[in-house]
Amino acid sequence: MSETAPATVLVFDSGLGGLTVFRDIAAVRPDARFVYLADDAGFPYGNLPEATLIARVRDVLGAAIAQHAPDLVVVACNTASTLALADLRARFAVPFVGTVPAIKPACAQSVSKRIAVLGTQATVSREYTRALIREFAAGCDVVLVGSPRLAGYAEAELAGHPVADAAIAAEIGACFVETEGRRTDTVVLACTHYPLLIDRFRTTAPWPVHWLDPAPAIARRVGALLQDRPPVSNAPPPAIVFTSGQAPSPALAKALQAFGFPV
């Protein structure tokens, strides 16, 4: 008897940040067929006006859904999810898993009840993010820190162009608040690019904190949604597609290989 086809999972981001989500999903369902779509021609999403971003995500994902017929789409981008998820769900029948700031678990686990949300300037200014704070942050002080540069730094590092410690420290500094004897003890990584810089954050932070990466929770959600699909052994290697059509540089190709892509 022939084996059933692997489930197709489309993982989408403005660039390479979604690889941090892909990595955890692939660990949960290594038997799925993965297509990673990087809209590098539109990067960075954090700088796009809202109407432009909604239309762009709809067009780029619409074309990819038509081409790859995924069973599930993971929008591995907070900047896109906090704005465009409702529109995507209304337009396409395929299920979507979004990536939104992990404010609820951060407040629940914070001991000092002082947390920071580190994301793109767009994500931290969204009504979606503010609604999460109203709903889930009662009794917890939340500082919103929008970074105009960190996603670009993460892309640069992955492409083999190191970024100075001082530049990284300048972007994360506002997360660290100490007043009334209480210090920030948890920082929500509200941009999927940021876990790529986690070691740099740890070494440049003024004091140790818990850096909350949403990827494990997203991977669990994907695992739950695919639980009816029995594991198969015939999945092809993951594929990566760049909307710019450009081939990755040798340094980037090496980094992508480390994530499992045969580039």
Binds ligand DGL (CB under 6 A): choice among 9, 35, 77, 137? 77
Q: Residue 241 contacts by C-beta under 8 Å, 6 or more apart in sequence?
A: 35, 36, 37, 38, 64
Amino acid at 107: C
Q: Could you tell me the smallest distance in angstroms from the CB atom of residue 101 to ligand DGL?
A: 9
Amino acid at 181: G
CB closer to ligand DGL, 120 vs 186: 120
Q: Could you tell me the smallest distance in angstroms from the CB atom of residue 139 to ligand DGL?
A: 27
Q: Which two tokens stand for residue 135?
A: 């709903």
Q: Is 17 in the site for ligand DGL (CB under 6 A)?
A: yes
Of 107, 140, 175, 191, which one is the catalytic site residue?
Answer: 191
Catalytic-residue membership of 191: yes
CB closer to ligand DGL, 79 vs 186: 79
- Scan for tokens 């997360």, then name that residue: 175
Binds ligand DGL (CB under 6 A): choice among 34, 43, 201, 211? 43
CA–CA dist 206, 7 (Å, integer): 44
Q: Which two tokens stand for residue 2?
A: 């022939």
CA–CA dist 246, 199 (Å, integer): 29
Near ligand DGL by CB under 6 A, which window of 28-36, 54-62, 157-165, 185-193?
Answer: 185-193
Q: Is 147 in the site for ligand DGL (CB under 6 A)?
A: no
CA 142, 148, 153: angle at the middle one, nearest 5?
A: 110
Q: Which two tokens stand for residue 106?
A: 């951060």
CB closer to ligand DGL, 35 vs 77: 77
Q: Is 78 in the site for ligand DGL (CB under 6 A)?
A: yes
Q: Could you tell me the smallest distance in angstroms from the CB atom of residue 46 to ligand DGL?
A: 3
Task: Report helix angle 215-225 to 19-28, nearest 10.
Answer: 50
Q: Could you tell me the smallest distance in angstroms from the CB atom of residue 177 to ligand DGL?
A: 22
Binds ligand DGL (CB under 6 A): choice among 35, 75, 123, 222? 123
Q: Where are the alpha helices (DSSP H) in the chain?
A: 19-28, 50-68, 78-91, 103-109, 121-125, 127-136, 150-158, 165-172, 198-204, 215-225, 250-258
Binds ligand DGL (CB under 6 A): choice among 11, 22, 25, 44? 44
Query: Which residues are designated catalytic?
Result: 77, 191
* Residues in contact with ligand DGL by the rule CB under 6 A: 13-15, 17, 43-46, 77-79, 120, 123, 151, 191-193
